[in-house]
Every structure is written in structure tokens, then in C-alpha cells.
Amino acid sequence: MITLHLTSERSRPERDDRDSGFTLVELLVVLAIIALIATLAAPQVLRYLGSARTNAAKAQVRNIESALELYYVDNAKYPTAEEGLSALVTAPAGEARWNGPYLKGTTGLKDPWGRPYSYEVKADASGVVIRSLGKDGKPDGTGEDQDVSN
């Protein structure tokens, strides 16, 4: 004869509730390690961020300079100081040979710190000067505060 025993509980090993999670000490050790790594890595990341903005400004100045050369080829002159760099995006009044836009939008006319690039035509009309004053917005400086120009 065969007998079946039905039980409502499965047989499983007993588990101690103390082993079911992390202790406060373990969490504090992990947080201390994360904080230590962050304090060591943060200065490096911030240094790279500053140099990245300066490098972006240099690339934008070269891009604007190329667009100005195309403008010069089409119009036989650079935009006047009054027309400014916006002449690369929208046609100045009275420019019949304007063949732009020479830049896709006005976002490239601001430096990585959000200020417009300064623009001036050289006195002898032999070229132009495009300049960003860096993070501090003042002439000269070093690091992220350095001026960027063509």
C-alpha cells in the first residue's frame, strides 16, 4: 500500500535574518571609498572640462575664419564691423553677391562661455581678427581665462 503525505510547508534550510542585507558599517565603508575616488578624480575631470572649452573656442574661431574667407571670395570684401559676424548667417542689406549662409546658425557666433566673439577688420583690410576673451571675459589670462583668437 502506498501512502501520500501532503504538507503545506516545503522543506528548506533555515536562514538567519541577519544575513539578508548589508550592515550600516558595510554601507559606510562603500560610501567612504566612493568619496575617496571622487575627490581624486574630480580635479582631473574639471581640468579636462576647462581645456575642452578652450579647444572648442579655438575650433570655432577656425570655423568662423573659414566662413569669412568664403564670404570674402563671394563679396570681394570682409563684412564691416557694423555688419559683424551675423553677415555670415543673414545677407546684409545691399550685398548682391552674397551667397550664404556661410554658417548654419547663430549658435556658432558665441564662444563656449556664452559671449559673442569680438570681430574687427584689420586697418589695412588684409584680414580680420576674431577673439574670445575666455572664461573671465577679460583680456589676457592663463588656462581657461586665456584669450583665443585667429
CA 87 to chain centre: 25
Write down the pLDDT at residue 14: 61
Strand 148-149 with 118-121, pairing: unpaired
List, for residues 30-68, the tens digit of each pLDDT value.
999 999 988 888 877 777 776 788 888 899 999 999 999
| Selection from 126, 127, 116, 125 nearest residue 84 by Cα | 116
List, for residues 72-114, the tens digit of each pLDDT value.
999 888 888 888 898 898 888 888 888 878 888 777 788 888 8
Write down the pLDDT at residue 49: 73
Distance CA 116, CA 8 (A): 77
Write down the pLDDT at residue 34: 92
Domains in the chain and their CATH numbers?
26-149 (3.30.700.10)
